[in-house]
Amino acid sequence: MLVLIDDIKMREEGVMIGYLNTTFADCEINDLDELYEYLLKTDKEIEFLVSDYDEIEDKTFAAKALKILTFARDARENIKLSMM
C-alpha cells in the first residue's frame, strides 16, 4: 500500500490523522502514538511517500510525525519511508 503524505496533510495533526483514518480502514487512529502502535502491529506492506516536507513553514507537528514514521520504518521490515 502506498501512502502519499504531502506538505498540506503534514502541517496539522487533525488533517494527517483524518487522512490516515480514511487510508487505513481497518483501524481508528486518534494521534501519533496510536499511529505508531498500529504500524508496529500491522503486517501490511506500507510505503509512506512524504512529499514537499521542505515546504512546511512550521514543522512542529511535521517533525514529530516524520520521527514516528522513521521509528516505525526502523522497527519493521514491512514499513517503508521515502522523501521526495
Domains contained in the chain, CATH given: 2-83 (3.30.370)
pLDDT, one tens digit per residue, over 12-39 is 999 999 999 999 988 899 999 999 999 9
| pLDDT of the residue at 25 | 85
Radius of gyration of the chain (CA): 12
81 - beta bridge partners?
A: 48
Percent of the chain with pLDDT over 90: 95
Other C-beta atoms closer than 10 Å to the C-beta of 62 total 22
